[in-house]
A = this chain, B = another copy of it.
């Protein structure tokens, strides 16, 4: 293992000069800096994390808390995680993965043991058990998702309320008078997951504003549930002609179910998805959708964290505005 003294010897300077040349925390002449950099390159030197002294520069590791709960769509979560890792690397940080039960206990462990020097928290619930820890911890953190009480925290999310409204407005503009929202599995609402609730609120508010009749149906993610729900929706009086789906794994099965019941999409029924763009575009029927910008949210979270680490002030809540992309699944209300 090559250490700082090796580099110093090769560059003909003292170890502290090497340290300063690399960190830039004190002025170093161009000439010396060049020699140090050359030595670093030739020797393949890399500072040993666990030796960076008590104060000052951290481990350059950030922890990512992803409680992989049931009812969350794995590919979407993974997309978040990957974008966080990529963005973190771009800032010279590595990522420590905390899952499940680690969610709560892990946050404390990571903070106290100095394993990481910042924290990204995913799948935030309205009342999240991790919040007290986050507020009291000296570790800077950013949440992807907005809890009920965001005071003292930093959060990024899609504006799910506005997303719900946008879906309804799109359908209202197409003349639909009765709309339904097919949501996440019931356990997601029971957990009071933040984004799911916000979407419902936006959806309902916009429907009321436009005087549409509306209903909300949580739904499990299997084919049987899709079929049962489709039948139930068609039995309603009046039956919805515009359906918003916020449940990624259900998209294809629900499309199938409607078609098997004899409905053509979008001639007889319009479908709007709330999901990441690739999911909507590669569905069996390309779906008009409000995009959940998973990758951008991950990147944003890391940027905010880096800001905080450098001492810069950051906004408490960052909500990205929703964007609707029309594809093949929506059309005018059937006559």
A282–B222 Cα distance when bound, in Å, is: 8
Contact with B along A122-163 (1 / 0, CB 8 A): 000000000000000000000000000000000000000000
Could you say which of A50, A109, A284 has the most chain B C-beta atoms within 10 Å of its C-beta? A50
A97 and B99 within 8 A (CB): no
Residue on B nearest A49 in the bound complex, by CB: B113
- Say if the beta carbon of A314 comes within 8 Å of chain B: no
How many copies of the shown chain assemble into the complex?
2
A112–B48 Cα distance when bound, in Å, is: 7
A284–B249 Cα distance when bound, in Å, is: 13
Contacts of A1 in B (CB 8 A): 112
Known: A113-B46, A115-B49, A222-B282. A97 touches B100 (CB 8 A): no
- Say if the beta carbon of A22 comes within 8 Å of chain B: no
Contacts of A98 in B (CB 8 A): 85, 94
Nearest CB of chain B from residue A255's CB, rounded to whole Å: 12
Could you say which of A48, A97, A110 has the most chain B C-beta atoms within 10 Å of its C-beta? A97
Residue on B nearest A52 in the bound complex, by CB: B50
A binding-site residues for B, Cβ under 8 Å = 1-2, 44, 46-52, 54, 59, 61, 64, 68, 74-75, 77-78, 81-82, 85-86, 89, 94-100, 102, 109-110, 112-115, 222-223, 252, 282, 284
24 inter-chain pairs at a CB distance below 8 angstroms, sorted by A residue, are A46-B113, A48-B113, A49-B114, A50-B114, A51-B54, A51-B114, A59-B115, A64-B97, A68-B78, A74-B74, A74-B78, A75-B75, A82-B100, A85-B99, A86-B100, A94-B98, A94-B110, A94-B115, A95-B96, A95-B97, A96-B96, A96-B97, A222-B282, A252-B252
